[in-house]
Amino acid sequence: MEETSKNKQSSIILALDFPYQGKQERGNLLTKAKNLLDTVSPYICAVKFNHHLTLPLGIFDGVQALVEQAHKRGLLAIMDCKVNDIGNTNNVIAEYYYDAGFDAVIANPFVGLEQGIKPILDVATERHRGVILLAYMSHKGAAEGYGQTIRDAETGVETKQYLAFARKAARWNADGVVVGATVPEKIREIRFVLGEEVPIYSPGVGAQGGSVEDSVKAGARYLIVGREIVHADDPAYRAETLRQKAELAK
């Protein structure tokens, strides 16, 4: 990821998310996604997919073609499936997404290691792919779960859920953690816990109110941007502007 980002001189990840489409409009979705990806690809380092595309298109029909297109443009492809099932199921999910060409999947450490995250880490290691873990999300309700105070099972000391997740991500050798751009103070705290080893991926810039400068200065390595680019009048120009902003803030 670091290499790709350096090559492209960009730390912007496009979240290729389109609004819900009724049955009649779904036919255009793949073409729209292909066009947007082509327009924006010079200014980004990776593409993040979510169920906005996998559900209407299917992963082996439409989405796999987009993943291949991303790779041809020198971009990495991340599946934002926020896996949080039992290990056996997590393993099956990871296998299918990796089969479709994804370089990394996003998972929720809330399910715990044993029979939870472990089987995903194992298949990732085996297939030389990545696993990125959630630490703090970008929406308001995140405070209820990610922001809650927990009693650490090992130390018996009270701590914040997101700091416990960050420590686990470091211990489990995750390839990155997700922290919302809407909470730069938490990016800073988590950066401190993680050190330089594990990069922070930060969604929520633009439409959700996060700022490129604040997130980068707080320690975010990659910025995930969806609606701000997807719905822009000129998506390429918007992506390039965000890219420059992020480079300047480094």
- Nearest to a second copy of 6, 139 (CB atom): 139
CB 232 within 8 A of CB 195: no
Core vs surface per residue 72-88: b (16+ CB within 10 A) or e: eeebbbbbbbbbebebe
State how far the alpha carbon of 26 is from the alpha carbons of 21, 32, 58, in Å.
Answer: 6, 10, 12
- CA 203, CA 194: separation in Å to the nearest integer? 18
- CA 230, CA 239: separation in Å to the nearest integer? 9
The CB-of-88 to a second copy minimum distance in angstroms stands at 8
CB 43 within 8 A of CB 245: no
- CA 218, CA 191: separation in Å to the nearest integer? 8
The CB-of-3 to a second copy minimum distance in angstroms stands at 29
Among 32, 34, 82, 160, the one annotated catalytic: 82
- Nearest to a second copy of 90, 211 (CB atom): 90
- Nearest to a second copy of 184, 240 (CB atom): 184
- Nearest to a second copy of 86, 248 (CB atom): 86
The CB-of-247 to a second copy minimum distance in angstroms stands at 27
| Interface residues toward a second copy, by CB under 8 A | 17, 19-20, 22-23, 26, 50-52, 55-61, 80, 82, 84-87, 89, 91-93, 95-97, 99, 108-118, 137-146, 148-151, 153, 158, 161, 208
The CB-of-201 to a second copy minimum distance in angstroms stands at 14
DSSP 8-state class, residue 18: -
* 6: annotated active-site residue: no
Catalytically active residues are 82
